[in-house]
A and B are shown apart, each in its own frame.
Chain A
Amino acid sequence: MSIIAKRSATVLTYFLTIICLATSSWVYARETLRVLTWDGYADNEVVSAFEQRFDVAIELTLVTSDDDLWQKINSRSYDVFAVNTAELQRYIDQGLSRPIRMANIPNHAQQLQRFQDLQAIPGLVRQNDIYAVPYTYSEMGLIYNRKLVKTAPQSMSAMWDAAYRGRVLAFNTSNHSFSLVGLLMGVANPFRMTDPELEQATRELVRLRRNVLTFYATAEEATRLFAKYDIALIFGNYGTQQLKALREAGADIGYVIPREGALAWLDCWAITRNSQNPELAEKWINYTLEKAVSERLTQQHGLANTITASLNDSTQNKPIIWLEPILNPLARKTLWDRIISGEAPEAF
């Protein structure tokens, strides 16, 4: 046997060994579903039940704001994510999400009547393709501390009230913050604000920054701050979910839909364009629409679900403004980062 032949045999052996090792580990690895979602949408119990039933692993990543969601989707890969109908539009525009095959979501038939016709819900369907399936919704009202605020506030403008300086919790997000100010300013469309309107709103948001204790990110953080400081007002970004958390922590709070209207979101499941396992992602969506899973949203997390009609749906007969796509989200985000970093009003 020549030296060359001997060497190539050795190389071949190594090669085969590596292939065997690689394939065996690949064969035995469980499939992984990467879920990007909000706190409470997929709690431990829901996740482990899914993992057991389908013998898969779930890699769960939580987001704290729409900006955060956008940033994460653009920097890492996920299979399925929860996004509101307005935000969804830029994901579709940018080709970040893919159509869902509704045949794989048989539980859609169980959803309440108003979620049956997906065409009728703005933003879910584009060119006959369905891009998202509704999962939960809430409006974002104003939470107030009954101990400190004797008369229920009528408007979000209360957050600017100097009387509550250092006792307001606002939310760390660019899109709603601007829309909120837009609403208060009475602009034509708070989701499609012009540059001058944005400019003015920025100044208002700096004013707001000067009046708040801080900008919170998670509902849990807000609850913690509420317990520690004399918080008077909280912008309820997480809506009813946040109310439940606060009340369970023993807070004596009230909740109002402001007269200028409350922004409301309808969060849906969507599948990423580059999902490695769209079938599994569809299984996940279908699974979350099972009655027991969806009802858990309500029972455990105080969120509305799309399967059972809620007893006192606060969105009924109130000035509710469902979120719409933002004209230039990046501009808002850039401005917001500056605001939150503490830039002085003169800088804008």
Chain B
Amino acid sequence: MRSSIGIKLGFWLALLGTLSTGLTGYYVYDRSRVMLVETAKDKLLNDTQGLGHRFADALAATASNVKLLANLPLSTDIASAKPNTELPIRKNQLAEIFVSLLNAHPEYSQIRLIDTRHYGKELVRVDRDRDTLKVIAEAQLQEKNHFPYVFETVPLPADQYYVSEINLNQELGAHQGFGKPTLRVAMPIKSTNFTIAVVVINVDLDGLFEQVRSNISDDIKLLLSNDRGDYLIHPDDAKTFGFESGRSFLIQDDIPDIKAILAGKQQHSAFATSDTQSLAASSLAAFVKLPLGSASSGRFVMLGLYTPLQNVLVESKALGVGVIEITLLFSLLASAISLLLARVLAKPLNSMTTAIGQFKLGAPLTGLPTHRNDEIGYLANSFMSMTEQLNSQIAELHASEAKLHAILDNAPVGIWLADLDRHFLFVNQTFCDALGLPEARFIANEQLAELFGAEIAARFLTADQECLAQADQPHQSLEQIKFADGKRHTIQITRTQLQDINKETVGIIGIAMDISDRQQAANRERAHNHVLELLSKGAALPEILQAVVLGVETQNPDLLCSILLLNSEGNRLFIGAAPRLPDFYNAAVDGLYIGPGVGSCGTAAYFGQRVIVEDIQNHTYWGPFTELAAQAGLGACWSEPIRGASGRLLGTFAIYQRHPAAPGAEDIQMIEQASHLAGIAIDRSRSNEELQLASLVYQNSSEAMAVTDAQGMIINVNPAFTELTGYALDEVIGKNHNILNSQRQGEQFYQAMWQAINSSGYWKGEIWNRRKNGEIFAEQLTINTIFSVDGLPQRRVALFSDITQKKQSEELIWNQANFDPLTGLPNRRMFHDRLDQEIKKAHRSGLQVALILLDLDRFKEVNDTLGHDMGDLLLKDASQRLLRCVRDSDTVARLGGDEFTVILGELEDADNVERVVNNILQRLVEPFQLKTKVAYISASIGITLYPKDAERIDALIKNADQAMYAAKHQGRNRYCYFTPSMQEAAQARMLIAEDLRNALETNQFEVYYQPVVELGSGAIHKAEALIRWQHPTRGTVSPAEFVHIAEDIGLIAEIGDWVFKQAASQVKQWRKRYHPDFQISVNKSPVQFYDGHSRDTWLEHLQTLELPGQSIVAEITEGLLLDASNVVKDQLLAFRDAGIQVSLDDFGTGYSSLAYLKKFDIDYLKIDQSFVGNLSPNSSDKVLCEAIIVMAHKLGMKVIAEGIETEQQRELLLESGCDYGQGYLFSKPLSAMKFEELLIRHGTSKSTASDLI
């Protein structure tokens, strides 16, 4: 049911009444509640303050009691009496007073008089004990000085009292206050301003509050806290004095509003609490702060009362109920009034609704309450005028529709309207006239098929449906319809949906426009464009020509066309395109020789003119072909010559008719257009073929090509160019060719090149250019110029290929031939070239050339000990150092191994040589860091000068070699200039060297033995083997003369081994014959140590001879140990393991490093003869010898003194403790035979030293 206006109005009025009553009631209720709470709060605060006052009064009363006691003369007497004074009577009197006070105040639990001068000893004490009062006996009195109520009271001035903090009494004793909350009030008793005693009253807090609580009702709860907020009284016993039991319960945690009082900001406060807090929730609470004792102590307690809010609000609740009752009553009344009002209002409205319901268009409106003089009457009058207006507007609408009809009928397009069932509602006159059908036939709902035929009708239906399906845009379609004029016309039909005022589709509007002419022109245009498109795409010629032919044929389906092409000789025609002519006809015509009367085309080609044959069968040109034409069904042929752009004849274009016919103006235009198009196509196609061929060559050439304009701007490059230079076409186009410049050629080079190009247009040569990636490459370049017709350069074509590899190979070969691969220095060959050049230059300039030959000392050791890799590193480093010592123009070359040369050319001052050489020596002695190892070497340098020393290269080299040799023998790490005497010495050396090579084979060597005598006993168990060379012509050659040559030429090992073997077989004999421990020492050159073979030879040989190692002593020099490498160390260790002893020769003359004495196992020290020779008592040499001897003995070595010549020397040495001696005093070196004689002699005569001589 619809709720009428009356009911709605009634409802809202009733609601309003109810709400206003309810809100007023609520306001009254709420105000009364607030007032009640405020009043209750004030009352509670009053109660709290009253309680506080009573508490304070009770304290004050206690204080006055304490004061009374303190001021009693009795108290002072007892307190000031001397200790141990018995005052039983007086004490009893005081106790009596205490008792009466305790009786009067049940809240007091203890009263004491305390002697503060004697550790706080209680003098009189009365306790409340189980409801009786007990005077404590003397023996049980305690000392209390250490309790705050004593030590805090003592300093107080007279008349000031002390109130303690409230805590649980933990003092032992028989009093009732033990374990109870206790407050102590105390006062000092003074004697001449000095506290002698204290009176203390203990107040039981619970008892106190029982008294002061008085009339406060039970539903009001009491809270008490100390100044920190700890509960002293709390409804929950567990929380009362929680701090005494280790728990922390604070009032400010339960009631946050309290903080202001605790902080001292307020003295009291009353408030309603929230319903969320744990204590006193939804309550009224009031708190006051109560000071304890003097204000200066700052001590206070906080007292509070709280009561639940619900207790306060009982009255307020009753008021609330009243308000609800009144509200209900009012709302009932309001509802009844509202219903009545609704009935009165609704009646006239109902009658008006009925009248309007019966209204019809055009008819006047009647039965409205227009007479009423209120809103309803106004409404009725408004309806009346509205219906009158409506009727007049409908009349105007009819007139306007007639106007529109006239316009539509006369529009130049066909227009119709159909409903959704395809019934025509309207067809305009234009459409009816075009089709020749009266409008009545459309409107009579004749079937579409009957009007347009079944095919068109079906398409109409489809188009209508599509139109209805697409709401947003008009639907367009094309249709071929035969008009009343009998022609088929192409019409474009636009359909749109016909919509009513609600945008709902109610039918279709169709508009048809005749577009036949326009479409024909478009077809022609399209055919033309198609041909041009094929041309531009570079399609094959037959395809294009076929398109030309089809274009004409499509527009005129009754025509047949052909294109014949003229051959290059210009005498025959071949089929270009004739798609619709019969094959047999085309086969017959193909290859036709042109000539007058050879059909239309043959004649047209021959004369170069259009030929029109209107009737083939009766035309002389077609005489030979009439039968063929008849067979092909051809009646007429119009032929037009095809010409190229240059006017050259290219072929013919022909149009055939099936029947004899003459061309109209349109036909002539068509034939001209077609032949022109064919001409363009043939021209273009032929030139494209030529271009493609050229481009193919260009693109596929392996030579890089670049085409530039006359100014060198790049126009085009081929793929080979891109591959070679790295530049793509679009990166270089428009750029100058010189972007490839490498700057390797100078300006002159380019000048010469351009000169050639400008004069002849051509240049060819090798050039260094730069790739895009920065790499330099060599190219073989040819540049050609293309000149324009007026002889000016138009284009330049650059052709080039990469010849870098070839160049590099050439360079590599040259480098390998001339440079040392390890150091990169010139090799011997290059050195010769340079030296040659320098000599020539010096010859011209008259200046000198210095040739320096340099050999690295001890390089072989580095190689042997650290390995060849390190050796190579050293050579590299050395060569760099050498290069840094000379000028750029000088040459440093490596001749091989560790041999270098330096050529200092064009010397103005020969002194410079010395400077350079000194520098070289200095640089080379600096340590070489070879990866992790360090090596030390030096150099020996020979210098010779051109032209002073020699003028020929080979002579200079030889000189330098000799000078270097001299430097080596002068002790290395130095240089020598070549001198003529050097040459002589060299020659002598050479001779000795040659002789040495023969000496071993020809047994020219002999081993001599010099005895080594035990100084103490004179016994001979040792000898030193010494080599002697009996040269056939030179006589005896001293070892000093030939040993170093033997070392140089590598013979020393062989000679050394020979000596060793001699000595070994000798010692074997002598051990057998003379002494089982006989021992021969053999000198061993450092060179032998580095020849690994030697060691093994010794040990094997000893084994073969079955000789123990002890039979041999190896004599070495200090120098060996000084640069001892592992090789030396290992060999010495191997000797030791085999039992071979080691003797250190010439001790004291060399480096005499004591460190190696410790490091190596040395068995004997041989004091050099230079010390022994100058030996005399008190001489420094004697001291030296003694020192050496002591030191050697301490190190576990024996000492042999060499070169003992006098008895005095022997004695002095013996005194000094020397172990053995050797020298002419005993014997010079002897041949084996003589030595044996000496032994025999010595064995028989048991000699003194002199006997030996």
- A interface residue numbers (CB < 8 A to B): 36, 59-64, 68, 72, 166, 209-210, 212-215, 229, 337-338, 340-344, 346-347
Contacts and interface: CB of A to CB of B under 8 A. Distances in A.
Contacts of B139: 346-347
A341 B146 CA distance: 9
Contacts of B122: 342
Contacts of A61: 245-247
B120 A342 contact: yes
Nearest to B143: A342
A347 B140 CA distance: 8
Contacts of A36: 246
Interface string B115-132: 000011110000000000
B197 to A, nearest CB: 15
Given A342-B146, A344-B121, A213 B151 contact: yes
Contacts of B142: 341-344
B525 interface: no
A342 B151 contact: no
A209 B143 CA distance: 9
A60 B242 CA distance: 11
Contact of B248 (A60, A64, A229, A338): A60
A221 to B, nearest CB: 10
B172 A341 contact: yes
Contacts of B245: 61, 72
21 contacts: A59-B247, A61-B245, A63-B246, A68-B246, A72-B245, A209-B143, A209-B146, A210-B143, A210-B145, A214-B146, A214-B147, A214-B148, A338-B172, A341-B173, A342-B120, A342-B122, A342-B146, A342-B171, A343-B142, A344-B141, A344-B142
Interface in B647-699: none
B144 A214 contact: no
Nearest to A166: B151
B146 A344 contact: no
Given A166-B151, A214-B151, A347-B139, A342 B248 contact: no
Contacts of A344: 121, 141-143
B246 A64 contact: yes
B184 to A, nearest CB: 14
Contacts of A59: 247
Contacts of B120: 342
A340 B246 CA distance: 20
Given A60-B248, A61-B246, A63-B246, A212 B146 contact: yes
A166 B120 CA distance: 12
Contacts of A214: 146-148, 151
A4 B245 CA distance: 52
B248 A62 contact: yes
Contacts of A215: 146
A285 to B, nearest CB: 20
Contacts of B141: 344
Contacts of B171: 341-342
Contacts of B151: 166, 213-214, 229
A42 B143 CA distance: 37
B247 A213 contact: no
Interface in B156-182: 171-173
B348 to A, nearest CB: 65
B146 A213 contact: yes
B1168 to A, nearest CB: 64
A74 to B, nearest CB: 13
Contacts of A62: 246-248
A45 to B, nearest CB: 15
A346 B120 CA distance: 15
Contacts of A72: 245-246
Most A-side CB within 10 Å, residue of B141, B145, B248: B145
B884 to A, nearest CB: 59
Nearest to A337: B172
B580 to A, nearest CB: 99
Contacts of A346: 139
Interface string B252-280: 00000000000000000000000000000
A344 B247 CA distance: 33
Given A62-B247, A214-B146, A341-B172, 4 more contacts: A59-B247, A61-B246, A61-B247, A229-B151
B229 to A, nearest CB: 15
Contacts of A166: 145, 151
A64 B167 CA distance: 15
Contacts of B148: 214
B144 A342 contact: yes
A39 to B, nearest CB: 10
B239 to A, nearest CB: 12
Contacts of A229: 151
A210 B248 contact: no
Nearest to B145: A210
Contacts of A343: 142-143, 172
Interface string B1058-1092: 00000000000000000000000000000000000
Nearest to A76: B245
B294 to A, nearest CB: 15
A307 B588 CA distance: 117
A210 B118 CA distance: 9
Contacts of B121: 344
Contacts of B246: 36, 61-64, 68, 72
B1151 to A, nearest CB: 56
B146 to A, nearest CB: 5
Most B-side CB within 10 Å, residue of A212, A213, A342, A343: A342
Nearest to A343: B142
A209 B151 CA distance: 13
A226 to B, nearest CB: 14
Nearest to A212: B146
Q: Which 6 A-B pairs have the closest CB atoms?
A: A342-B142, A341-B172, A61-B246, A342-B143, A62-B246, A214-B146
A342 B248 CA distance: 29
Nearest to A345: B143
Contacts of B147: 214, 342
Contacts of A210: 119, 143, 145
A2 B342 CA distance: 58
A347 B143 CA distance: 11
Nearest to A210: B119
A215 to B, nearest CB: 6
A59 B248 CA distance: 10
A229 B146 CA distance: 13
Contacts of A209: 119, 143, 146
B952 to A, nearest CB: 88
A42 to B, nearest CB: 12
Nearest to A44: B248
A174 to B, nearest CB: 13
A79 to B, nearest CB: 15
Contacts of B144: 342
A64 B172 CA distance: 19
Contacts of B248: 60, 62
A8 to B, nearest CB: 35
Contacts of A347: 139
A345 to B, nearest CB: 9
A277 B119 CA distance: 50
Contacts of A342: 120, 122, 142-144, 146-147, 171
Nearest to A61: B246
A22 B173 CA distance: 46
B436 to A, nearest CB: 100
Contacts of A337: 172
Contacts of A213: 146, 151
A139 to B, nearest CB: 24
Nearest to A334: B172
Nearest to B119: A210
Contacts of B172: 337-338, 341, 343
A72 to B, nearest CB: 6
Contacts of B145: 166, 210
A34 to B, nearest CB: 10
A342 B246 CA distance: 24
